[in-house]
Amino acid sequence: MWKWITKFASPMHFYLLVNRLTPWLGWGAAILFVAGVYGALFYAPADYQQGESFRIIYVHVPSAWMSMFIYMVMAAAGGAGLIWKTKVSDAIARSSAPLGASFTFLALATGSLWGKPMWGTWWVWDARLTSELILLFLYLGYIALQSAIDDKRTAARAGAILALVGVVNIPIIHYSVEWWNTLHQGPTITKLDTPSIHIDMLIPLLIMALAFNLYYAAMVLIRARHEIIEQEKNSKWVQDLIIDKVAV
């Protein structure tokens, strides 16, 4: 296992692994997206209270889940980069930031589009919405830090520290609806009870969540591959790779 990990951490093996994995992840995500959107718009019944507007849940909730999950990946990869100084983990942390920021933006925007007709407002400063907005700022701060520092190693280190400190926000987002009175309702799926969502509505949601996860996995690997090639462009394996391309 350890040997496998060290091998994965070598840039060249990482490159080869990404080439092998991304088609599977990408096509898996595409198929699940089609199934999930069909389930979300046709299979799932309308909600007894919210009618058709409830269908926003199928893009809102997976985006919100991804926004937190990607942040944890980013912080963990950044931490691993601090400890083992591996280029691959730094590349994964850096590649995660724009994706995480996108999903956070989507969670906020689709939530707003859901809140207007149902709650009666685009935005409120309750604990859940505010902490999710802070998450977006953490991502944007991380991205700004990366572009402000020219030296890649220093940038990765500074970013990792910011990401690790910001981890404290993740449980706050998750538990905000339980710790404080909020306009946002409590958790549906992740509470310890049985989920209080009808099974016909739940299945498309889980398919969409899986699709979002595979999409993220494929996209973060492609971005990290780009980072790796750029950083290693003077190494022998990249030069060989390019010579192969020229030969073709």
Partner 1 sequence: MNPKRKKILFTIVFTVIGVGIATGLALKAFQENLLYFYSPTQISDGEAPSNRNFRVGGLVLAGSVVRNSNNLNVSFTLTDTMNTVEVIYDGILPDLFREGQGIVANGATNNEGVFIANEVLAKHDENYMPPEVAEALERAGVEHKSSKSQVFP
Partner 2 sequence: MEQSGNFFQMGGYAFYVWSSYGLTLIVLLINYLSPKFSEKKLIAELVKRSKLKKTDIK
DSSP track, 66-131? HHHHHHHHHHHHHHHHHHH--HHHHHHHHHHHHHHHHHHHHHHHHHHHHHHHHTS-S----HHHHH
- Which residue lies nearer to partner 2 by CB, 140 or 167? 140
Which amino acid does the sequence have at 171? Answer: P
Find the shortest distance in angstroms from Cβ 22 to partner 1.
30
Find the shortest distance in angstroms from Cβ 120 to partner 2.
13
Find the shortest distance in angstroms from Cβ 135 to partner 2.
16
Contacts with partner 2 by CB under 8 A lie at 37, 41-42, 46, 51-53, 55-56, 59-60, 63, 98-99, 102, 105-106, 109-110, 113-114, 116-117, 215, 219, 222-223, 225-226, 229-230, 233, 238-239, 242-243, 245-246
Alpha-carbon distance of 29 to 47, in angstroms, equals: 27
- Which residue lies nearer to partner 1 by CB, 85 or 226? 85
Q: What values do phi and psi take at 167, rounded to 5?
A: -55, -30
Q: Site for partner 1 (CB under 8 A): which residue of 17, 37, 118, 140?
A: 118
Interface characters, 10-49, with partner 1 (x: CB under 8 A): -----------------------------------xxxxx
For helices 87-118 and 57-84, angle between their N-to-C axes, nearest 10 degrees: 160
Looking at the DSSP bridge assignments, the partners of residue 51 are 47
Residue 106 binds which entry of partner 2, partner 1, none, CB below 5-8 Å type-dependent: partner 2
Cβ partners under 8 Å of residue 206, min gap 6:
none
Find the shortest distance in angstroms from Cβ 36 to partner 1.
16
- Which residue lies nearer to partner 2 by CB, 128 or 223? 223
Residue pair 223/77 in contact by the 8 Å Cβ criterion: no
Burial degree of 112 (CB within 10 A; 0-12, 13-18, 19+): middle
Site residues (vs partner 1, CB under 8 A): 45-50, 53-54, 57, 79, 82-84, 117-121, 124-127, 161, 164-165, 167-168, 172, 177-183, 185-188, 191, 196-198, 200-201
